[in-house]
Structure 1
Amino acid sequence: MQRVREQVQVPEQLHSGAGRVKSVTVAVLDTGIAYHPDLVGRLLAFSDFVEGRSFPYDDNGHGTHVCGIVCGSGELSGGRFRGMAPEAKLVVGKVLDRQGEGSCDSMQEALEWVLRVKNRYGIRVLNISVGIGDLKERYKEQMLRKSLELLWDHNILVVCAAGNTGPEDGSISEMASSRKVLTVGCHDGRYCKNDPGRCETYSGRGRRYDVTRKPDIVAPGTRILSCNAFWQNRNGRIYRPYVAKSGTSMATPIVSGAAALVMEKYPQITNEEFVRLLSLTATDLGEPWNKQGFGMLNVRRLLENK
């Protein structure tokens, strides 16, 4: 995460807490959240749409990794692997099981839950590092899209992963195809150029000539170090507190965390204003639109150019 913060230009002084108005709450729908020292004090609410359990858990690890990218404190790394917005709070819904599989019904129920608890927890951002393929039941896809757009209309910035089924034209995840969703692709810029497994090679891409141009933005996503749900404390010695993961799932919470930083500074900003600001401040990578969108996230410009 240190490399990521440098690459997307997160000002270091932000982490001193100076100039903050109040913390922003980010909802994360994923595999859940496990106890991790970097995430202590972050979780406001948890709901399990898979097993119906009442306590927070993550039997896969994906969700904990995503939450660490959003707002991990970096406690076990001396701050080195802290997340994008360490002051942010979390509301977490478990919609995927141990294998990372889920159903449209669980996702639909979770989206309705987020809308119900929006005001109670002050949710401003929804992170969905989850993709779905082509659905045989078209009406379920339409229901999900309608729910995502309803959340957007209630001033929740919906941030969705472009998916990892690229690089073919039109390979964006169905969850991320709406114009009322901020779609995040994966690109590491000058990093990982010689790595054949770098995320940009499989990041989902939009259709070149669609009216709705996707993705909207790209962020780093190759070998991102964040919280490991399966860390261990053996007689006071910490083992494997962090783990590296790759994909648009990792790029997405980088953008969600950046959005939280902007909303901390500008509490009244709307979704539309944020997207406009994003378009004006992104770094053009010289790639086709259906690969990079506006370009690479640039947090310093986001915070300085409103």
Structure 2
Amino acid sequence: MQRVREQVQVPEQIYSVTWRSEPVTVAVLDTGIAYHPDLAGHLLCFRDFVEKSSLPYDDNGHGTHVCGILCGNGELSGGRLRGMAPASKLVVGKVLDGKGEGSCDSMQEAFQWILRVKNRYQIRILNISVGIGELKERYKEQVLREYMELLWDHNILVVCAAGNAGPEDGSISEMASSRKVLTVGCHDGRYCKNDPKRCETYSGRGRKYDVIRKPDIVAPGTRILSCNAFWKNRNGRFFKPYIAKSGTSMATPIVSGAAALVLQKYPRMSNEEFLRRVALTATDLGEPWNKQGFGMLNVRRLLENK
């Protein structure tokens, strides 16, 4: 994460700033969240749409890793591996099982839940680092898209992964195709150039000549170190507290975390204003639009006075 923060130009002094407004609450729909020292005190609410458990858990590890990227405090790494917005709070919905599989019905139920609790927990951002393939029942895709757009209309910034089905034209995730979603692709810039498995080689891409041009932005996503749900504490010694994962799933909470920083500084900023600001401040990588969108996330420029 230290490399990531440098790459997307997060000003380190931002973490010592005293904000006038309260930390931003981010909802995360994923495989759940496990207890981890880096995430202690962040969770406001947990809801399980798979096994209906009342206690937080993550039997896959993906969701815990995503939450660490977003707001882990880096306690077990001396701050080196802290997430993008360590002050942020979390509302977590488990929509995927231990194999990382889920259903449209669970996702729809989760969207309805977020609409019900958004005011109670002051949810401002929704992070969706999961996707769906092409469904036989196309109406279900439309229903999910309508719910995501409804959340957006209720002033929740929906940040969604472009998916890992690239690099073909039009390979972007169906859930990420709406104009009322901030779609995140994956690119590591000058890093990992010699790695044949770098995330840009499979990041989902939009259609070159579509009216809705996607993705909107890219962020690093190759071998991102974050919280390991299956860490161990043996007599005060911590074993494997962090793990590396790759994909647009990892790039997405980087953008969500950046959004949390910006919306804490500018709490009255609308979703549309934030999207325009992302576009104007991104670093152009010289890649095709359907691969990079507006370019690489640039947090320093995002945080500059409007």
Which category describes the TM-score, using the shorter chain as reference length?
over 0.9
Secondary structure at the aligned position of 1:107 is classed as helix
Deviations 1:27-69 (A, max 9, x none): 0000000000000000000000000000000000000000000
- The amino acid across from 1:26 in the alignment is V
Q: Is the 8 A contact 1:47 1:54 kept in 2?
A: yes
What is the match of residue 55 of structure 1?
55
Secondary structure at the aligned position of 1:184 is classed as strand
Secondary structure at the aligned position of 1:185 is classed as strand
Secondary structure at the aligned position of 2:127 is classed as strand
Superposition CA RMSD, Å? 0.6
Question: CA, structure 1 residues 194+38, in 2 after alignment: closer, same or farther (shift >3 Å)?
Answer: same
Deviations 1:57-89 (A, max 9, x none): 000000000000000000000000000000000
What is the match of residue 202 of structure 1?
202
* Structure 1 residue 305: Cα displacement: 4.5
Deviations 1:119-139 (A, max 9, x none): 000100000000100011111
What is the match of residue 293 of structure 1?
293
Secondary structure at the aligned position of 2:125 is classed as strand
What is the match of residue 28 of structure 2?
28
What is the match of residue 175 of structure 1?
175
- The amino acid across from 2:230 in the alignment is F
Secondary structure at the aligned position of 1:275 is classed as helix
- The amino acid across from 1:231 in the alignment is W
- The amino acid across from 2:166 in the alignment is G
Rounded to whole Å, the distance in 2 between the matches of 1:183 and 1:128 is: 10
* Structure 1 residue 115: Cα displacement: 0.9
Identity %, equivalent residues: 84
Deviations 1:82-127 (A, max 9, x none): 0000000000000000000000000000011011100000100000
Secondary structure at the aligned position of 1:264 is classed as helix
Question: CA, structure 1 residues 76+20, in 2 after alignment: closer, same or farther (shift >3 Å)?
Answer: farther
Deviations 1:192-242 (A, max 9, x none): 000000000000000000000000000000000000000000011000000
Instruction: Give the TM-score, by structure 2 length.
Output: 0.99
The residue correspondences of 1:47-86 to structure 2 (distance < 5 A) are 47-86=47-86
What is the match of residue 283 of structure 1?
283
Rounded to whole Å, the distance in 2 between the matches of 1:253 and 1:96 is: 17
Rounded to whole Å, the distance in 2 between the matches of 1:68 and 1:42 is: 10
Q: Is the 8 A contact 1:213 1:290 kept in 2?
A: yes
The residue correspondences of 1:103-114 to structure 2 (distance < 5 A) are 103-114=103-114
Count of residue pairs the alignment pairs up: 306
Rounded to whole Å, the distance in 2 between the matches of 1:4 and 1:248 is: 14
Secondary structure at the aligned position of 1:99 is classed as coil
What is the match of residue 187 of structure 1?
187
- The amino acid across from 1:58 in the alignment is D
Rounded to whole Å, the distance in 2 between the matches of 1:48 and 1:135 is: 24
Q: Is the 8 A contact 1:277 1:305 kept in 2?
A: no
What is the match of residue 13 of structure 2?
13
- Structure 1 portions without partners, runs of 5+: none
- Structure 2 portions without partners, runs of 5+: none
Deviations 1:230-279 (A, max 9, x none): 00000110000000000000000000000000000000000000000000
Secondary structure at the aligned position of 2:287 is classed as coil
What is the match of residue 156 of structure 1?
156
What is the match of residue 131 of structure 1?
131
Instruction: Give the TM-score, by structure 1 length.
Output: 0.99
Q: Is the 8 A contact 2:19 2:264 kept in 1?
A: no
List 4+ stretches of structure 1 deviating above 4 A: none
Secondary structure at the aligned position of 2:90 is classed as strand
Rounded to whole Å, the distance in 2 between the matches of 1:257 and 1:17 is: 16
